[in-house]
Structure 1
Amino acid sequence: MMFRPARTLPSRLALRGVEVLPGLGLTVPIALVATVIGTLVPVLGSALPAIVIGVVVAVIRRPTARFQPGVEYSGKFLLQLAVVLLGAQLSLGAILQVGAESLPVMLSTLTVCLIGTWLIGRALRIPSRLRTLIGVGTGICGASAIAAVAPVIGALSAEVSYAVSTIFTFNILAVLLFPLLGHALGMDPHTFGLLAGTAVNDTSSVVATASVFGASALGFAVVVKLVRTLMIIPISVGLSVIESRRAVDGRRMTARGALGLVPWFLIGFLGVAVFGSLGAIPAGPRDAMVHASGFLIATAMAGIGLSTDVAALRRAGWRPLALGAILWILVTATALAVITLTSVWGR
């Protein structure tokens, strides 16, 4: 194997910077606009506006080859870097406090969601990568989970766009319907926070849903949501192993080989989460990392939108949306059932 000398690293980085700069000149402004939209309309977040703007630009005029390196850089590397920074949102005290109470609900809903994804997705004849993205987006944490899993399974830009848009549709419905459901069922803020943190996908939508129900439900809902984000790790590692087994025609996977499959950004995510949990990241840098993660996700979604094959989205049809609807109902029903069975309701 030939190794390039370290002394050439600055020049190689400079060349890479020149190569990706034109594409970043498209994705970063789109991300800025999407961030402003997400700030003004929190329920939208910044991921969906970034994808929509990117798709609109691509429909009007698809970026030429000069812009492609930067667009691809945004949709891949910056996406992975954003996943790493997501780990800064976690704290050990919060995890220990809510883990025992929320874990049964989270594991039950995730299990039902993944089984439903496989069975219903196959019955609807949805391509495996697209149904996987919709499944993890519904079962774990929306666009963040889709962002983490997409590079692991080699998802296409069109599949990521459709999955994010599908998840967003049911996030909007959750904000409208969940508070009404919680009040109709006589839930207290603590119980509703558990339901919202478990059954609503993106963090921004969890915040919006809990805020509509009542400010006292917000804190617990957000903590449950962040603990739920940890499920990205085992799911992504498991998918890495599955993808590898497919690639090598089913040959036996060793433990060493499985460790080698763990993507670098998931190791980084876990490392940042551990440091954050131990209090090794001061409040200022932690907040900066969280905001940077959100902006990088918006930048990545802009890149994905710019490279989206709109014709492929049209060919996907109604079936993926139907899968998202069924999974959303299953997750909500399972969360309510487990909350009832574990006697959390009415505490």
Structure 2
Amino acid sequence: MTVLRSLARHRLFWPAAVMAVLLALNVALTPSFFSIQVRDGHLYGSLIDILRFGAPLILVALGMTLVVATRGIDLSVGSVVAISGAVACLWISELPEQNSVAGVLAALGIALGVALVLGLWNGFLVSVIGIQPIIATLILMVAGRGLAQLVTGGQIITVNSGPYRLLGGGYWFGLPASIIVALGMVAAAALLVRRSALGMLVESVGGNPEASRLAGIRSRRILVVVYAWCALCAGLAGLMISSNVSSADGNNAGLWIELDAILAVVLGGTLLSGGRFSLGGTVLGALLIQTLTTTVYTLGIPPESTLLFKALVVTAVCLIQSPAFRARLSRRRRPPAPTAGRSQRDAATEAEVTA
């Protein structure tokens, strides 16, 4: 019993428990849910689909984690997703040969470069100008969507490039390429923040900015690096999304993905008040949201009710994950202790009358 209580107090216990419940529900509805098949040397199955379609959200949430750890927020990641995909597809569509590997690599580099510049702009507004993160990134959230529409000319740009399609819809070593890219970025982020001083500096700036300043930490540089990293992850996710459908939609690409990313970060145990963060928890939160989406489709819930269903489940997870909520719930269930000088029978009778 003590072991179970200690596990329940872990910040990742309840998201993992809800994930297990969702997977069990999918297995009950579809007995072959866990089956993985090999076709032409490629892996297929529902679990593979969850990882493949959840890869862009993992990338965006990965960048959002470090931003939230510094007491910030980035609402512009959805617009960066749209801009990145639009720039890459526009460049490829104007190539004489769209299957040119060099041309595709140039398109990827330019798109990621634009995303990096947008992240540096967010970091400049937050750290140098001193604008609140929610306002600074809201500016790019609105203007960036218009910029994506300007790049695409208000139309959907369609490309027919095999090398570009490989990033989001292709396979490497039998696995979807998007999964490998996401795992590589998670590994790179883990090495960056856990094998160097960057992670400690990020937690210091987010946990106590004033103490960090007195300790000589240059928080402005940390903030710029963090927002640039977040935009870079969002730009890569945008390339992945547009590559998967071989087109760029400046209006709908990455729409509201920033909200799912924030939810994934919170479900993963990172507090919005800044400080300590968990990359593994963020990955778990992103996979939980993608599994929830898959469950919605499996249950056959009408599309107009999908967002409401997801909101209810996420709210329930956040509540049971909250130690304060669980403590308050347990206090209500626990009967009051007998009052000194009175019999236990009288105290129990009074408790029943009060109830």
For normalisation by structure 1, the TM-score amounts to 0.31
More strand per residue: 1 or 2?
2
Please identify the structure whose Cα radius of gyration is greater.
2
Specify which structure has the bigger relative contact order, considering alpha-carbon pairs within 8 angstroms and separated by 6 or more residues: 1
More helix per residue: 1 or 2?
1
